C-alpha cells in the first residue's frame, strides 16, 4: 500500500447492484464466523489494519499503531490476547520461533515504541525493522531495531542454516533530500538474525537487484492515474525456500530470483507490463512453483478502480507461467484476473494481499481487494482463472471515500482470516467441495511471504 492517510472524495450515486452502506453481500459458500473490532490503541480511522502472521493457535495482526495477538484456537470465537502499541506504518508482521518482526516505513524520532513521526530529511530520523520476543504472546517484549535504507515497507523471512533467519527488507521511493534514502535505490536490505540471540541481529548485505536501473517508468508529469512507476526498489518479495526461489513485485518490474545462497539473491528473469500494470505490488507462487500471480496496486490502494471505467485489466492480477529450467527459466503471461463485481465510487478497490488455499492438484487462492472484499479464485488453468467464492461489505460511507476494506486475506488451517483496515479481524469459512480437502492440511506457522510446500514438508 502506498497511501499513509485517508482519502476523501465526493461521489455520485452507486449502482443498484452494489451493497448498501456496511451491508454484507457474499456467495452462498462463504460464511462469516466472527468479527473482532480493532482494540484500544489500534482503533481510530487512520490506524489501519495491515498484514497477518500465524503460529500455532495465535494470529498476529499488524496495524499502523502496533500489532494485536489473537487466540484462534476456536476460530469462530477468537480472543484478543494482547495489544502492543508501537506506531510505525505499515507495521507488517512476520513470525519465526519466538520472534516477531515488524516493518516501519515512516521516519520516526527514534527506534522505540514511543517514537513520533519525524521529517524524512532529518539525519537522526529512524525507520527499519523492529524485533519482539513473543515467547509469551500475552506480553511481547521489544528486543532490538535495525535501521535500513528507505525504511521497511514490507519484509520477507528466509530460513538460514545453524539457527539463523534472514529478513529481506523491501523499500522504495528515494529522494535526493532524504539522507538515508538516496537514489538510485535499486537494492534490498538483508538482516541476519541468530534466533537464540536476536539482540545480535545485524544488517549484512544490500544487494543491488537492478544494476541497469530497472524500469524507467513514465515521465513524472504523466497525467494518467495508471502511469507506470519507475523501479526504485521492491514493494514485496515472496520467497519459496523449499524451491530456492523468490518472486519480486518491484514497482515497475516483476522478477524471479534464485535464493540458493540467501545472502546473495540472484535475478533469473523479469517481466514488465507497461500497458496495464501501474505498480507491481505483491506475488504468490502456486504450490508446484510453476506459476506466479502478480498484483497491480493501481492508485496506491486509495482509489475506486473496480468499475467499468477502469475495466478488467487494470488494478488486477496478472498470472504468469514459469517455463524452462534453471537459469533459462522465463515468465510467460497467461491472463489477468479481477473481481467481476462493480464497486461504488466511494470504495477503494484494487488487487491486494492473498495466499494459496492448499488443494492438491489445484491452484486456488484467496485474496483481499480492499473494499472490493475477499475473492476466492481457481487459476489451475492459468489462461482461464475463475472466481468460486466471495465476500464483501458495502461502502463505509455513500458520500465520501474513506479508506477501508480487507488489507490481507489468508487461509490458515481451515479458515480465512481477513485484516480489515477499519473493522478489524474477520474470520470466514468457505464451504465448497472444491476447497474441502484444504481443511486437512495443517501448518504450524504461516507467513504468506514465505511460502511453504504444503504437500512435501520436511
Measured distance CA(232)–CA(224) in Å, rounded: 20
pLDDT in tens, the chain (458 residues): 754 333 333 333 345 589 999 999 999 999 999 999 999 999 999 999 999 999 999 999 999 999 999 999 999 999 999 999 999 999 999 999 999 999 999 999 999 999 999 999 999 999 999 999 999 999 999 999 999 999 999 999 999 998 999 999 999 999 999 999 999 999 999 999 999 999 999 999 999 999 999 999 998 777 677 789 999 999 999 999 999 999 999 999 999 999 999 999 999 999 999 999 999 999 999 999 999 999 999 999 999 999 999 999 999 999 999 999 999 999 999 999 999 999 999 999 999 999 999 999 999 999 999 999 999 999 999 999 999 999 999 999 999 999 999 999 999 999 999 999 999 999 999 999 999 999 999 999 999 999 999 998 75
Residue 420: closest CA among 402, 411, 407:
407
Q: What is the dihedral of CA 10, 409, 256, 160, to 10 degrees?
A: 130
Neighbours of 185 (CB within 10 A): 23
In 3-state terms, what secondary structure has residue 200?
Answer: helix
The full DSSP string for 97-155 is TTEEEEEE-S-BSSSSTT--B--TT-TT-B-EEEEEE-SSTTS-EEEEEEE-TT--SEE
Place of cell 534453471: 326
Q: Contact 137/123 with Cβ under 8 angstroms?
A: no
The three-state secondary structure class of 199 is helix
User: How far is Cα 147 from Cα 202, in angstroms, rounded to an integer?
Assistant: 9
CATH of domain 24-219+226-446: 2.130.10.10
Whole-angstrom distance, CA of residue 67 vs CA of residue 419: 11
Q: Is the peptide bond before 90 cis (omega within 30 degrees of 0)?
A: yes
CA–CA dist 286, 82 (Å, integer) = 34
Length of the chain: 458
Q: Which of 439, 338, 332, 321 is nearest to 386 (CA)?
A: 338
Q: Note if the bond before 184 is cis, omega within 30 degrees.
A: yes
List, as one string, the DSSP characters of 332-358.
Answer: EEEEEE--SS---TTS-B---BEEEE-
Could you tell me the three cell numbers for 340? 467481476
DSSP state of 67: E
* Distance in angstroms (rounded) separating the CA atoms of residues 359 and 442: 12
Amino acid at each position: 500500500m502506498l497511501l499513509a492517510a485517508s482519502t476523501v472524495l465526493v461521489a455520485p450515486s452507486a449502482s443498484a447492484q452494489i451493497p448498501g452502506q456496511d451491508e454484507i453481500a457474499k456467495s452462498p459458500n462463504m460464511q462469516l464466523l466472527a468479527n473482532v473490532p480493532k482494540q484500544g490503541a489500534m482503533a481510530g480511522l487512520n490506524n489501519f489494519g495491515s498484514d497477518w502472521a500465524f503460529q500455532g493457535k495465535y494470529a498476529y495482526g499488524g496495524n499502523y499503531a502496533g500489532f494485536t495477538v489473537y487466540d484462534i484456537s476456536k476460530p469462530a470465537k477468537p480472543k484478543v490476547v494482547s495489544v502492543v502499541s508501537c506506531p510505525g506504518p505499515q507495521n507488517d508482521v512476520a513470525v519465526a520461533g519466538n520472534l516477531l518482526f515488524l516493518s516501519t516505513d515512516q521516519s520516526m524520532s527514534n527506534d522505540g515504541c514511543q517514537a513520533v513521526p519525524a521529517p524524512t530529511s532529518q539525519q537522526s530520523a529512524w525507520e527499519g525493522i523492529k524485533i519482539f520476543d513473543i515467547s509469551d504472546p500475552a506480553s511481547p517484549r521489544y528486543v532490538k531495531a535495525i535501521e535500513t535504507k528507505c525504511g521497511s515497507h514490507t519484509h520477507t523471512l528466509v530460513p538460514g542454516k545453524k539457527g539463523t533467519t534472514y529478513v529481506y527488507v523491501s523499500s522504495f521511493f528515494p529522494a535526493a533530500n532524504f539522507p538515508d534514502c538516496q537514489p538510485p535505490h535499486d537494492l534490498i536490505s538483508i538482516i541476519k538474525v541468530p534466533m537464540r540471540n536476536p539482540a545480535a541481529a545485524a544488517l549484512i548485505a544490500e544487494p543491488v537487484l537492478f544494476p541497469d536501473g530497472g524500469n524507467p517508468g513514465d515521465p513524472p508529469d504523466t497525467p494518467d492515474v495508471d502511469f507506470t512507476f519507475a523501479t526504485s526498489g521492491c514493494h514485496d518479495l515472496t520467497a519459496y525456500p523449499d524451491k530456492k526461489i523468490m518472486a519480486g513485485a518491484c514497482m515497475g518490474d516483476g522478477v524471479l530470483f534464485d535464493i540458493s545462497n540467501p545472502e546473495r539473491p540472484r535475478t533469473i528473469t523479469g517481466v514488465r507490463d507497461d500497458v496495464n500494470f501501474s505498480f507491481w505490488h505483491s506475488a504468490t507462487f502456486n504450490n508446484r512453483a510453476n506459476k506466479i500471480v502478480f498484483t497491480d496496486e493501481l492508485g496506491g490502494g486509495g482509489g475506486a478502480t473496480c468499475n467499468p471505467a477502469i475495466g478488467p485489466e487494470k488494478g488486477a492480477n496478472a498470472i504468469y507461467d514459469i517455463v524452462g529450467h534453471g537459469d533459462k527459466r522465463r515468465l510467460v503471461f497467461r491472463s489477468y484476473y479481477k473481481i467481476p463485481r462493480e464497486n461504488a465510487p466511494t470504495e477503494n478497490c484494487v488487487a491486494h494481499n492473498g495466499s494459496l488455499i492448499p488443494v492438491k492438484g489445484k491452484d486456488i487462492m484467496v485474496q483481499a481487494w480492499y473494499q472490493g472484499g475477499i475473492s476466492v479464485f481457481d487459476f489451475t488453468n492459468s489462461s482461464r482463472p475463475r472466481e468460486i467464492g466471495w465476500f464483501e461489505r458495502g461502502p463505509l460511507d455513500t458520500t465520501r471515500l474513506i479508506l477501508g476494506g480487507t488489507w490481507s486475506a489468508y487461509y490458515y488451517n481451515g479458515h480465512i482470516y481477513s485484516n480489515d483496515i477499519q473493522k478489524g479481524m474477520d474470520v470466514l469459512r468457505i464451504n465448497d467441495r472444491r476447497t474441502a480437502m484444504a481443511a486437512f492440511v495443517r501448518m504450524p506457522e504461516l507467513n504468506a511471504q514465505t511460502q511453504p510446500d504444503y504437500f512435501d514438508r520436511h
